[in-house]
Homo-oligomer: A and B are copies of this chain.
Amino acid sequence: MLPDGDGFSLIREFRQHSDVPVLILSACDADDDRLLGLGLGADDYLTKPFLPRELILRINNILKRVYGSNQPALERDSLLLGDILIDFSSGLIHSGKTEKSLTAKEFAILKKLSENRGNIVTADSICQAAWEDGYYGYENTLMVHIRRLREKIEKDPSHPQYLLTVRGMGYKLAKDS
């Protein structure tokens, strides 16, 4: 029903040259048409009326299959502080050309702060996140880890601009400026 020919011959010809995925969106849901379309190598066949969301999902599924790499986005799992980038999936801190790595505790603490960036996080709740078991009596240890973190992410660890202390409450990660 296209103005200059029918869709089926279009696909047939197209398929001879290309493997690019094809999804047919048709007004006819006659069984024969559907079978023909799929038989010619279309990846999917949807008939009107259809749910917009279903169309999106079907497209996504086809693309995932064709171009692979259905890896959960790693980009999102990172933290940008000024010109240094912390990548949690690799556990690395990139600043310019140099790379430092995070230890397990540093990782857990920074992750927790990162998840609540801009907000105060009490020492208690940081400990809770970093020490599964009885998270008390680690306040002092936490301080030492904070210091180490600052040495890794701050220009001047003694005058931090990102990992800030909130006296009497805990710490917080400065919101991006």
Contact = CB atoms under 8 A, between A and B. Distances in A.
Interface residues on A, range: 35 or more
Interface stretch (A131-139, A142-150, A154-162, A167-175): A167-175
A74 interface: yes
A52 to B, nearest CB: 10
Contact of A168 (B57, B103, B120): B103
A91 B70 CA distance: 24
A58 interface: yes
Nearest to A40: B57
Contacts of A47: none
Interface string A54-92: 100110011011101010001010000000000001110
Contacts of A119: 74, 89-90
A172 B169 CA distance: 25
A35 to B, nearest CB: 6
A48 to B, nearest CB: 14
28 contacts: A21-B65, A31-B51, A31-B54, A34-B51, A34-B54, A35-B51, A35-B53, A35-B54, A35-B57, A38-B54, A38-B57, A41-B61, A41-B64, A43-B61, A44-B44, A65-B66, A68-B76, A74-B119, A89-B119, A89-B120, A90-B119, A90-B172, A91-B120, A91-B166, A101-B166, A103-B167, A104-B167, A104-B169
Given A34-B54, A41-B61, A103-B167, 16 more contacts: A21-B65, A31-B54, A35-B51, A35-B53, A35-B54, A38-B54, A39-B57, A44-B61, A74-B119, A89-B119, A90-B119, A90-B172, A91-B120, A91-B166, A103-B168, A104-B166
